Chain A
């Protein structure tokens, strides 16, 4: 995805990545999370980004997603982080329970959401509303008064 020079292709590859992540969730027995991933990321956010591309790129889609001058440095840093992370993960002794995961998670998540985490839940709702309004205001055309 990141290597592609065409931003639209990048977006499509990103969709595939999201679906892959959904598959990872399945492997982790997180069925609800997988569904949310497909709906929100695979559906909403990808569409969002495509809209963004359409609004900002005019003309040919080729050569729209190039690297900047410091790509090499960024690559070195990222690679270093990958290696460090891998070494750390492997060298750490994790306290894995080894128990079997629950068959379905929706009920438990719903219970947690509406009891223990009800306040963050509501706050998240407000956050989304604020973000919606904010996005509208920011993106609105500024009338040149002066």
Chain B
């Protein structure tokens, strides 16, 4: 592959409206075994991903468990070290910059986690949780920080008088709001939201989705929104990327991807998500995939989806299809795209 060689990326090359540019990103986790603890194999969690995220946009990233979507999100923020490839944030390659620069830049990049129970320290008050990033980066005096915490609580729809409470005093939805307030504390430009609503009840999911959309407009935020629920992703993002076994298999505007899915995996995923409408459920054609997602340690040859694909031909087992434009502004990695 041509993109394997490390290249310098001058900032002028990156279009000014691009905030994050991910190029050929790979994250492989070694599996050690034997007496000497040698690397015997590796889990190819992310295996050559290219993505750009524009300023002010929300890019939705969908896939099933084990497809590498969370690892991709973490690798973009350098929370796991990529094995190869680069992540260019506002012209700086995060994988090749110094520790000091990366630390300074972390203030601009935040994360919202899936589990609102394990991502908040139970021994800290809400005030301390939300002000911690400001303390880390030496922002403001303690009075200023306190005022900021109260302002943030208000922004995410919680009562500012609750600063002295502990996480266990809040419900799941409220805790997720606290996590969002913490992510906003440093006025970031970019937020990776890793399944922010999966742990919440239906009636609370809608509240949090609406809040995230409001905050994006209010603070001009850019999101990478990771989810396994296609419907939720569609509500917050204009562009959607579908991931399978460490690869992006389809990327396009939400409208196109949902109305005219090109990759068979996208078609199957859409068909499998239940629609709350009994009449539609009765009439619509369902594609039910057989088998499970293969192991990322030993991915199938050729197209990673071919063992489960009903369209697979001989070529799919041999040649990995490139990610190409199949319809205007819609790319997919498939030899036989479309319905």
Mutual binders A and B: no
Residues of B at the A interface (CB closer than 8 Å) are: none
Residues of A at the B interface (CB closer than 8 Å) are: none
